[in-house]
Amino acid sequence: MSSPSSSQVDLSHHLSAEAKLRRPNPMKEIWRLARRKPNMVSLANGDPHSSLYPIKSMQFEVASVDEKDPVASWRTAGPSARSQRLISTRDGPCALPVKTAMQYTTGAGLPETQCALTELTKFYHNPLDHTVTLTLGNADAVIKCFRLLGNPGDHFLADEFTFSALANAALPQGIKWVPVRIDDGGLIPEELERILSTWDEARGPKPHVLYTVPCGQNPTGSTLTVERRKRIYALAQRHDLIIIEDDPYYFLQYSAPASAAPARTLAPSFLSLDVDGRVLRVDSFSKIIAPGMRLGWVTSSAFFHAHLVSYTDSSTQHPHAFGQVFVTELLGPAGWTLPGFDAWVCGLRGEYQRRRDYFLALFARTVAPTGLAEARAPAAGMFVWVRIHVERHVRFRRERAIGRGRRTNCKQLMEELFEHCLDGGLVVMPGSVFVLSTDPEYDSPEGPIEDRMNYFRLTFAGTEEAMEQGLTILGDALREFFAEPASRHIKSEDVFDS
């Protein structure tokens, strides 16, 4: 197993007991040794012979990036949209031959794909002494990072509202979440410092991992400012934190709503600031190519890379070949190349920014006049975090609440409003879905989260028709729900419990 680079801090104490006990897959180790010498004769592996693969070639027809705005041209031109072909053959010249791609490989991924994604990562982040590990998409990557770093009883830090599917994946490991307050500018450094500086050891070990989505945070849409990123990284150095930078919306960063042009400058990542090797950055093609690709990558120090590869070698084995062929050919000399890829994601930013602005204009006309909800303008991502003014409902205050429990009926009212939207034909994602499962003994200074989950997450990634219909239904649902008499739906146990 690799040791930390001499130019980086020794972070081996952050490894989980599971990671320390894991042994390399001996067959994969022999395979790696064999690759160091050319023209080796192999009688070792049970690899099906490439001449027996029933695949002669793989062809993908993709959008041309030669247009001024390739995304707009692709979206509006229909069948006449210009395209180009990516071809991987069994024996002919191509970036990644079929006979190579379809064979077993190591957990790191095929060298050709690794190389392509290493160059892409350098193009946008220029990291210091980091290595790329391919994964089966974003979720696979994040869960492997949790397994790499978390022991039962460990505390991990995360944004107060977090994508629940991944946060819940850590719970069976015995990892406990510590929420950190966020606002429009993302995670609040002062809150992070307060938690770390005042940590009570009676709760268990001090948190040593921060999991965060810095751009277009899911669900709130908030994006960390450059200054906050620098301050958070400095806190990570001071308090010895590992940062899992989960950034699927990195390429979907926008200008302010009044601007017609898409953002040309992307915020610096934690990876680009990392000098210690304490950042594990997770990237994905789900939001910029297609979610069914199930191909992503982790960029980390060589030390953590070796442990991620060891885990993959003995679990998922390696990323799927079809996705690796597609990406390698797409970024290769016969495909888009890096400048073409950059043109595509710039076009995506423009298109999603247009949809965001359309959504916000619709919201201003259909929902805002009710005075019962307000929407944040996200600087990245696909979501708008809508605050419901549930405090204006006649049943909001829990007059006889006692103890440390919630002081309002916010939770119940939001559940009722969600059902009211469903009855009207609208599906929204309630804020309660994204609340971290935490130790109730330790409340936030702001009070119980149940009193602050008065949000809906809405998306602008769909059609204009869906936005128009959905926001009209939401406006009507708000008017109807807030007009209800105080006695309706109320239950005595909801008032008197603590």
pLDDT in tens, 157-169: 999 999 988 999 9
Same domain for 354 and 416, yes or no, is yes
Identify which has the larger pLDDT, 136 or 314: 136
Residues in contact with 136: Cβ distance below 8 Å, sequence separation at least 6, in sequence order: 294, 295, 296, 316, 319, 320
pLDDT at 422 over 80: yes
| Domain count within the chain | 3
The DSSP string of 102-141 is: TS---TT--HHHHHHHHHHHHHHH--SS-EEEEESSHHHH
Same domain for 223 and 253, yes or no, is yes
Same domain for 96 and 118, yes or no, is no
Same domain for 74 and 116, yes or no, is no
Which of 317, 335, 354 terminates a domain? The answer is 317
Q: 493: pLDDT confidence band, cut at 50, 70 and 90? A: very low
Q: Phi/psi at 212 (nearest 5 deg)?
A: -145, 150
Q: 494: pLDDT confidence band, cut at 50, 70 and 90? A: very low
**What pLDDT, on the 0 to 100 scale, is given for residue 55?**
85
Residue 406: Cβ within 10 Å count? 22
Q: How far is 20 from 219, CA to CA, in rounded Å?
A: 34
Identify which has the larger pLDDT, 494 or 305: 305
Same domain for 93 and 126, yes or no, is no
Same domain for 120 and 100, yes or no, is no
Helix (H) or strand (E) holding 472: helix 464-482
Strands (E), 136-189: 155-159, 176-180, 182-183, 186-187
The answer to whether position 94 is within a domain reads yes
Report the CATH number that the domain containing residue 171 is assigned in CATH: 3.40.640.10
**What pLDDT, on the 0 to 100 scale, is given for residue 485?**
65
Mean pLDDT of 380-396: 95
The answer to whether position 290 is within a domain reads yes
Identify which has the larger pLDDT, 420 or 52: 420
Contact assessment for residue 414 and residue 453, using Cβ atoms and an 8 Å cutoff: yes
The answer to whether position 323 is within a domain reads no
The answer to whether position 330 is within a domain reads no
Which of 80, 104, 128 terminates a domain? The answer is 104
Mean pLDDT of 296-310: 94
Mean pLDDT of 171-177: 93
Same domain for 358 and 240, yes or no, is no
The answer to whether position 485 is within a domain reads yes
pLDDT at 240 over 50: yes
**What pLDDT, on the 0 to 100 scale, is given for residue 6?**
41
pLDDT at 31 over 70: no
Same domain for 428 and 295, yes or no, is no
Residues in contact with 305: Cβ distance below 8 Å, sequence separation at least 6, in sequence order: 2, 108, 131, 132, 133, 298
**What pLDDT, on the 0 to 100 scale, is given for residue 438?**
73
**What pLDDT, on the 0 to 100 scale, is given for residue 43?**
72
Percent of the chain whose pLDDT exceeds 90:
65
Residues in contact with 257: Cβ distance below 8 Å, sequence separation at least 6, in sequence order: 356, 357, 360, 377
Same domain for 238 and 350, yes or no, is no
pLDDT at 487 over 50: no
Residue with tokens 């500086």: 197
What is the extent of the structural domain holding 122?
A: 12-46+106-317
The answer to whether position 2 is within a domain reads no
The answer to whether position 364 is within a domain reads yes
Q: How far is 150 from 438, CA to CA, in rounded Å?
A: 16
The answer to whether position 339 is within a domain reads no
**What pLDDT, on the 0 to 100 scale, is given for residue 407?**
78
Same domain for 407 and 261, yes or no, is no
Lowest mean pLDDT across 196-205, 232-241, 301-310, 435-444? 435-444
pLDDT at 448 over 90: no
pLDDT at 445 over 60: yes
**What pLDDT, on the 0 to 100 scale, is given for residue 260?**
57
Which of 317, 337, 372 terminates a domain? The answer is 317
pLDDT in tens, 332-347: 999 999 999 999 999 9
pLDDT in tens, 454-475: 999 999 999 999 999 999 999 9
**pTM score over 0.75:** yes
DSSP 442: S
**What pLDDT, on the 0 to 100 scale, is given for residue 379?**
94
Report the CATH number that the domain containing residue 479 is assigned in CATH: 3.90.1150.10
Same domain for 127 and 261, yes or no, is yes
Same domain for 273 and 410, yes or no, is no
**What pLDDT, on the 0 to 100 scale, is given for residue 403?**
47
Contact assessment for residue 373 and residue 386, using Cβ atoms and an 8 Å cutoff: yes
pLDDT at 30 over 60: yes
Q: Phi/psi at 187 (nearest 5 deg)?
A: -60, 135
